[in-house]
């Protein structure tokens, strides 16, 4: 009887800027052979593009350098890392990682890069349809700052097959960061829809970090996870005949039916047709079962053919966003907050044509539910207001009025207004034939 094959893959981060000390605990445990680092949310890529415009050597994930710093020794000892650290500049990311490994003296480490997900130069030639905006990219008035394709596991798997120890992708899809190492280690072919569905389910459960190990469980006073001070990062034990989700030993949090079910449905609009670059995943009949302390087995997922198109994230420069907050307390706090809203609107009237969108929320009164939930008179209320302005001068005029507002009101405390570039994102789809990805492998 042959030896059962098993690989253990763990989560290193769920977003750029995620804490790394809990991931170090998992790496130090020696339980996992791979860590996946997801660094990109929808808006992250567009801000990365803006950083690259200002500095051609920038645009990769902020956590790339800390990861190499904190995990370099583990990589040298055999741990493999896969992450979409590249952001908008995978070549700079590869160069940076190689330099940092060399500075650490980690000779022999092989750094891989996946390039080509940035298709800005072709987007207008393809005249991509933007379904959420009801137009094509050529009809958009705002400047297009980024056009990035969600890539899959194939190129990452190719680099692992070639011996890569540290793989850097661009907009590599979140679950694909795990599909590649699982299929590489277990010899599963990417055309095997059932196997890829299993690997994708693992990736989906791990990609959000501690969400599957108790991070969203706290609902005081009704439900609290055990020791939420230091929650364990999750990992999966994957074999030819079994998938078990667990977490770093002797850590806080919990992995049980509740946490796995919560994450299984996270961000999935259609459980029978979850579209990824590698497979159309069906988790509508997936079952979970506790098989030990902080050990949950997952079964029943299936896969269908992958989509014929790839999802594209289009970033639009929407100008400037200004925001500020003010607090009011005690008798009359609600009326004073309402008056502050009216006063700010009146003072901004002369340049209101340059404000394309604005809103004001009374936190504690209507910011979450509007008038759908009845409430008594508040003891205090926080007024939050914001505006979007295509022109920076108009945005700064709004900020000036917001900052000056507290001098015209009784019993108010105000925060310092903030102003920042406002990047919006929308989706598109592109034929796979229009995307050409490349890989490189550099030995330190």
Tell me the C-alpha distance between 146 and 317, whole Å: 9
CB count within 10 Å of CB 11 equals: 31
Token output for 208: 């959000």
pLDDT beyond 60 at 147: yes
What pLDDT is recorded for position 1? Answer: 35
| Least confidently predicted of 57-61, 77-81, 280-284 | 57-61
Tell me the C-alpha distance between 9 and 34, whole Å: 5
Percentage of residues in the chain having pLDDT higher than 70? 99
Mean pLDDT in residue range 17-32: 96
Backbone angles phi, psi at 420, to 5 degrees: -155, 160
Q: How many whole angstroms from its chain centre is CA 321? A: 21
Strand partners, 324: 385
pLDDT beyond 80 at 441: yes
Hey, which bits of 154-273 come out as E strands?
166-168, 234-239, 243-247
Q: Considering the entire predicted model, what is its pTM?
A: 0.92
Token output for 159: 């680099």
| Least confidently predicted of 50-54, 150-154, 162-166, 308-312 | 50-54
Mean pLDDT in residue range 144-170: 96
What pLDDT is recorded for position 55? Answer: 87
Tell me the C-alpha distance between 53 and 61, whole Å: 15
Query: Nearest-CA neighbor of 257 among 291, 218, 289?
Result: 289
pLDDT beyond 70 at 17: yes
Percentage of residues in the chain having pLDDT higher than 90? 83
Per-residue pLDDT band for 4 (boundaries 50, 70, 90) equals low
pLDDT tens for each residue of 358-377? 999 999 888 888 888 777 89
Topology (CATH) of 314-427: Alpha-Beta Plaits (3.30.70)
Sign of CA dihedral 364, 365, 367, 368: positive
What pLDDT is recorded for position 373? Answer: 78
Strand partners, 442: 111
Domain with CATH 3.30.70.100 in the chain: 314-427
């Amino acid at each position: 009887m042959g030896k059962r094959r098993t690989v253990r893959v763990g989560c290193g981060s769920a977003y750029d800027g995620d804490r790394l000390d809990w991931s170090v605990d998992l790496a130090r445990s020696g339980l996992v052979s791979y860590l996946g680092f997801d660094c990109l949310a929808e808006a992250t890529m567009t801000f990365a593009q803006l950083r690259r415009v200002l500095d051609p050597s920038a645009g990769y994930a902020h956590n790339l350098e800390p990861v190499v710093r904190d995990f370099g020794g583990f990589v040298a000892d055999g741990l493999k890392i896969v992450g979409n650290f590249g952001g908008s500049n995978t070549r700079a990311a590869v160069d940076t990682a190689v330099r940092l490994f060399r500075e650490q003296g980690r000779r022999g480490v092989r750094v891989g890069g996946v390039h080509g997900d940035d298709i800005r130069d072709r987007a207008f030639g393809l005249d991509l349809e933007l379904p959420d905006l009801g137009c094509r990219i050529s009809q958009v008035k705002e400047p297009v700052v980024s056009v990035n394709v969600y890539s899959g596991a194939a190129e990452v798997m190719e680099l692992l097959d070639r011996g890569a120890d540290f793989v850097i992708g661009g907009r590599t899809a979140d679950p694909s960061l795990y599909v590649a190492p699982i299929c590489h280690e277990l010899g599963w072919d990417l055309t095997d829809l059932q196997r890829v569905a299993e690997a994708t389910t693992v990736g989906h459960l791990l990609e959000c970090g501690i969400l599957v190990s108790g991070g969203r469980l706290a609902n005081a006073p009704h439900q609290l996870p055990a020791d939420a001070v230091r929650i364990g990062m999750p990992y999966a034990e994957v074999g030819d005949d079994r998938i078990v989700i667990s977490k770093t030993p002797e850590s806080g949090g919990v992995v049980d039916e509740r946490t796995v079910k919560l994450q299984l449905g996270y961000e999935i609009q259609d459980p029978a047709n979850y579209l990824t670059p590698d497979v159309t995943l069906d988790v509508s009949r997936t079952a979970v079962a506790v098989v030990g302390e902080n050990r949950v087995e997952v079964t029943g997922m299936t896969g269908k053919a992958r989509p014929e198109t790839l999802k594209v994230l289009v970033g639009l420069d929407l100008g400037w966003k200004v925001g500020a907050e003010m607090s009011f307390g005690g008798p009359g706090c609600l009326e004073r907050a309402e008056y502050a809203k009216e006063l700010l609107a009146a003072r901004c009237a002369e340049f209101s044509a340059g404000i394309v969108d604005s809103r004001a929320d009374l936190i504690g009164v209507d910011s979450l539910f509007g008038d759908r939930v009845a409430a008594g008179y508040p003891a205090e209320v926080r007024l939050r207001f914001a505006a979007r302005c295509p022109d920076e001068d108009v945005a700064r005029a709004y900020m000036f009025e917001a900052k000056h507002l507290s001098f015209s009101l009784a019993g108010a405390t105000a925060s310092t207004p903030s102003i920042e570039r406002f990047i919006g994102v929308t989706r598109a789809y592109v034929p796979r034939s229009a995307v050409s990805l490349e890989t490189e492998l550099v030995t330190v």
